[in-house]
Amino acid sequence: MAEIRTAIGLMSGTSMDGIDVALVRTDGETVVERGPFLSVPYEPAFRDRLKRALEDAKTIRQRNERPGDLSPMERDLTLRHAEAVALFLRQQQLKPEQIDLIGFHGQTVLHRPDEALTVQLGDGPLLAAETGIDIVYDMRANDMVHGGQGAPLVPVYHQALAHQIPAGDWPVCFVNIGGISNLTFLDRDGIIIGFDSGPGNTLIDQWVEAHAGIPYDDGGRIASEGSVIMALAERYLDNPFFTASKRRSLDRNDFRPPEGHEAELSDGARTLAYISAAAVLKSAGHLPAFPKTFVICGGGRLNRTIMADLVRLAAERGAEVMSAEQAGFDGDAMEAEAWAYLAVRSASGLPLTFPGTTGVGQPVSGGVLVAASRQPSS
C-alpha cells in the first residue's frame, strides 16, 4: 500500500481574492482524509497589484520571463504564502516537521494553451526555504509539454472524492465556479472527463466593481433585483468556445465584461449570473451522458442567483444540483485540498492529468519537487 503523507495545499485562484490553505492526509490514490482549512484574504491594494500584474504578463513569450513588476510581485506573493502557512500551522498547533509536503499553485498570470504557454507566479525554492517544508510547484507545465491544455488539474481529486457519492446519484459532475468555471464528469465505468466550462464569477466581480465599487455580488443579491437581458446573454453563449469540438482551457481575459451602456447594475449582474449557470449546462452538452447530479464547488455556489438558475436549468434535463456541502465536502477548500493531493501524487510519480481531462496524449505526472533541507536557511 502506498505511504500516507500529510500535505498542505496552497491555492491562489483566478479570482485573486486570497490564499486558500488546506491540509490533507492521503496516499495520492483512494485514501483521502480532509483536514482543516484557512483562507487568508488579500487586502484591496495587493489585489489591485495582482490585477496590474496580469497586464505586465501579457508581453511574456517565454514562461520564465518576468517583465515589469512581476519579479518583485513573485517574491511578495511567495512570502505571503509562507506567512499563510505559518499562520495555519500556528492555528493548528502543528510544526513544519509534521508536514511532508506542500503543493503550491501560485498565481496564474497568463494562460495561452494554443501557444503551450502557462505562467504561474510562485517561487518554489523560496517557499521551501521560508517554510522548511518540501514543496511541489509548477504542476501545469509538464502537461503542456506533452500536448495538454495545462488545466484543469482538479479532476483527479474529484475522482478520489466521488467514491463517497451514493451509486444512485451517478453519473456525477463536479462543477467549480471560481473566477472561471471548470467541470469534472465521472461515471461508474471509470470515465473521467474534465474541462473549463466558461466564465464563473470573474465577469460578475468586474461588473459590480466597476458599477458599484464592491468586489463581488454577495449572495447574488444585486443580481436577484435585476432581469436577464437575453440578447446580451446569447451573445456570450454564442461564443465559439461553447461549440468547439476540442475543449480549450480558459484564461481570465478570454471573456470580457459588458460595456457600461449595455445594462444597468442589477440587470447586468442578473445577466452575468445567468451566463455562469447557462455556460455550465451548455458545456455539459459535450459530455458522453447527461449527469444525474451536479455538485457545485467554489465561491459561485454562494451566489444564490447562479444556484437558482443552475437548479432550474438542470431540472429541465432531469438532473439534480447540490452544493459541495450537501454532498459532504467543503466547497471553499476543495481546490487547495486538490493541490495537496496532487503534490502527493507528483512526489509518487503518479499521473496528474489524463487525455480526458487536459487533452494530453497519455496520462502524465508533473510538478517540480524542492527539498527544504537543501535550501539555505537564511
Ligand X SMILES: CC(=O)N[C@H]1[C@@H]2OC[C@@H](O2)[C@@H](O)[C@@H]1O[C@H](C)C(=O)O
CB of 84 to ligand ATP, least distance (A): 14
Site for ligand ATP (CB under 6 A): how many residues? 23
One residue of 5, 14, 199, 327 binding ligand ATP per CB under 6 A: 14
**Nearest to ligand X of 156, 228 (CB atom):** 156
Residue 358 touching ligand X (CB under 6 A): no
Other Cβ atoms closer than 10 A to 69: 16
Is 214 exposed, middle or buried (CB count within 10 Å of its CB: 0-12, 13-18, 19+)?
A: exposed
Residue 179 touching ligand ATP (CB under 6 A): yes
Residue 153 touching ligand X (CB under 6 A): yes
Site for ligand X (CB under 6 A): how many residues? 17
Q: What own/partner pairs with CB < 8 Å and gap ≥ 24 does 318-325 have?
A: 318/290, 318/292, 319/290, 319/291, 319/292, 319/293, 319/294, 320/169, 320/292, 320/293, 320/294, 321/293, 321/294, 321/296, 322/293, 322/294, 322/295, 322/296, 323/295, 323/296, 324/295, 324/296, 324/297
Residue 14 touching ligand X (CB under 6 A): yes
Closest CA to 25 of 130, 85, 101, 128: 101
- Supply the DSSP symbol for 353: B
Residue 229 touching ligand ATP (CB under 6 A): no
One residue of 9, 18, 124, 178 binding ligand X per CB under 6 A: 178
Q: Is there a binding annotation on residue 238?
A: no
- Calculate Rg over the CA atoms of the chain: 20
Number of alpha carbons in the 13 Å side-chain half-sphere of residue 65: 13
Q: Is there a binding annotation on residue 15?
A: yes
Residue 339 touching ligand ATP (CB under 6 A): no
Q: Which stretch binds ligand ATP (CB under 6 A): 49-57, 173-181, 268-276, 310-318?
A: 173-181
Residue 217 touching ligand ATP (CB under 6 A): yes
C-alpha distances in Å from residue 208, one per residue of 46, 52, 194, 266: 19, 18, 30, 9
CB of 300 to ligand ATP, least distance (A): 6
One residue of 22, 127, 302, 372 binding ligand ATP per CB under 6 A: 302
**Nearest to ligand ATP of 69, 209 (CB atom):** 209
Interface residues toward ligand X, by CB under 6 A: 13-14, 108, 111, 118, 151-154, 178-180, 182, 196, 249-250, 335
List the binding residues for ATP. Answer: 13-20
